Amino acid sequence: MNIIYTFIKRFFAFICFLWISGCATHYEPIIVPEYSGSVKIQSSSATISTTTEIPAGDYLVADSQVFLSGRSNLSNHFGILGILVDQLNNSVSFDNENETLSVKFDEVLTDIIQKQVFDRELKIVNDTESPNLILLPSAKLILDSDNLAQIEFRLTVRIIDPISDIQSTKNYYFFNGKSLPISGDNSWSSDNASNLINYSQFALEKLINSASFDLFGNHKDYSDKKLRKYVYLKFPYSEKPLKVVLLNELDDYVVVSHENNGVLVQSTVLVVTKDLLSRK
């Protein structure tokens, strides 16, 4: 029973929130408007909304862009009280490592953007300039056992319309089942969270490359169902592969999205390494 419960909790918490949360909006392509000149980017040290953009019960490490998850699931049954209990449980699960895990990724992302070449020029701007795109990186450690946690990286993009100044949001997730201990040698928290920081470079590079390729219109043809290609993903602890729409394929990873009643969901994109691909 514990194995079944663990599977249900982790798999559906990850997949269902990841994509079902994006099913309510944005079925039309989300494409960066035609700005004049270079696209102004702000890599933000802020966090996504802890009330509307993360699963209930996830805990945000203070002064960080790191979320903790995986303990209990009372928020599904006891409303606000359950959410508070889940947040407390998730905080306590990583209690000794909370201070070490107080990490932000905006500087890592800025460094990656400055070293990459994109389809359109991206210009990093400071707080005194108005950006066209606001990028909010974050990570989530998902408790896998008493001292083992998987990691998921997320890049939230706020797209600002230059005429109306209205923002739309698109989320990019990177996941490959990477697990490390929470504490001890060679853990997520050891050596001032060096494994976490190093892994963020690996994940965020793939996320910003995938986001730039997508946001500048390279996936727009997939709105036509006849042009779509499909692959299957085999997630850890899942019994059946998940059928998804292939948006892009590179040497070691793929970029995919998912359909809702035959309509391509545009608000959420998943980037995964090829070892998660399945024949069916």
The tens digit of pLDDT for each residue in 161-218 reads 877 878 889 999 998 888 899 888 999 989 999 999 999 999 999 999 999 888 877 7
- In this prediction, residue 207 carries a pLDDT of 95
Give the residue, 118 or 92, on which the prediction is more confident: 118
Of 178, 177, 172, 176, nearest to 248 by C-alpha is 172
Beta strand pairing call for 277-278 and 229-233: antiparallel
- Whether 149 is in a domain gets the answer yes
- Whether 57 is in a domain gets the answer yes
Residue 88 has pLDDT above 50, yes or no: no
Q: What CA–CA distance (Å, rounded) separates 197 from 192?
A: 9
Q: What CA–CA distance (Å, rounded) separates 256 from 233?
A: 10
What rounded mean pLDDT belongs to the chain?
A: 77
Range name among 64-78, 116-130, 150-164, 241-255 with the lowest pLDDT average: 64-78
Number of domains forming the structure of the chain: 1
- In this prediction, residue 144 carries a pLDDT of 74
- Whether 146 is in a domain gets the answer yes
Domain that holds residue 133: 2-220+258-272
Give the residue, 233 or 56, on which the prediction is more confident: 233
User: Could you give the maximum distance between any two Cα atoms of the chain, in Å?
Assistant: 58
- Binning the chain into helix, strand and coil, the percentages to the nearest 5 are 30, 30, 40
For the chain, percent of residues with pLDDT exceeding 70: 73
- Whether 225 is in a domain gets the answer no
Give the residue, 96 or 185, on which the prediction is more confident: 185
CA–chain centroid gap for 154, Å, is 2
H/E element, 253 = strand 253-257
Of 216, 273, 280, nearest to 250 by C-alpha is 273
> Do 246 and 233 form a contact (C-beta atoms < 8 A)?
no
- Whether 8 is in a domain gets the answer yes
